[in-house]
Amino acid sequence: MKKNNPWIFRGEELKDIDKYEGMVYIITNTLTGKKYIGRKYFFSIRKVKGRKRRQRKESDWRDYYGSSKTLLEDVEQYGKENFKREVISLHKTRGDCNYEEVRQQFLHNVLEEDGYYNDNINGKWQKKPEHISEAREYANSSVHPVYIQERFRSKT
């Protein structure tokens, strides 16, 4: 049975996840172009009462549409068929998965750009209110974050 809106990795439907702990993904609203970058673990590991060993259980990753309230409202409003779900990367450890999620969110500047549903990164960095972002001024282009990033990027 084919899923209505599967996760796509390298152009194909993601199926075999047994050797991975999680994924970093991007969900795109195909009507508005707005995006969401996040991560999802494939399994949960729980101690079952009365047993010594922990049980590994598959998570709800197949039907998952992110944790952003705004994104989930849009999925409800526009329908799942209007959202593209793509896997950016697969990870064998949760730590690596967490790191890559945060890295991708900063690389894509999800808190400063209007085209993202993300309103925080790792629960620590929040999207700034508009009046703060608008009030920010730079003396010249040489101290602007984009200039600094380009200037110090390695030239290999």
List, in order, residues 6 or more apart from 147 with CB less than 8 Å away.
Answer: 141
Q: How far apart are CA 88 and CA 145, in angstroms?
A: 25
Task: Give SS3 for 37.
Answer: strand
Given a cut of 60, whether residue 142 has pLDDT beyond it is no
* 1 is a domain residue: no
| Domain ranges, residue 58 | 8-152
Q: Whole-structure pTM over 0.85, yes or no? A: no
d(CA 51, CA 66): 32
The residue type at 155: K
CATH number at residue 16: 3.40.1440.10
Q: Is residue 2 part of a domain?
A: no
With respect to residue 114, please indicate whether it lies within any of the assigned structural domains.
yes
Mean pLDDT for the chain overall: 86
Whether the Cβ atoms of residue 108 and residue 36 lie closer than 8 Å to each other: no
Q: What is the mean pLDDT of residues 110-135?
A: 80
Structure tokens at 4: 């209505």
For residues 43 and 97, the answer to whether their CB atoms sit within 8 Å is: no
Rounded Cα–Cα distance for residues 25 and 100 (Å): 10
- Supply φ then ψ for residue 15, to 5 degrees: -130, -55
Number of domains into which the chain is organized: 1
Q: 2-49 pLDDT, tens per residue?
A: 457 999 999 999 999 999 999 999 999 999 999 999 999 999 988 878
Q: Is residue 3 in some structural domain?
A: no
pLDDT beyond 70 at 60: yes
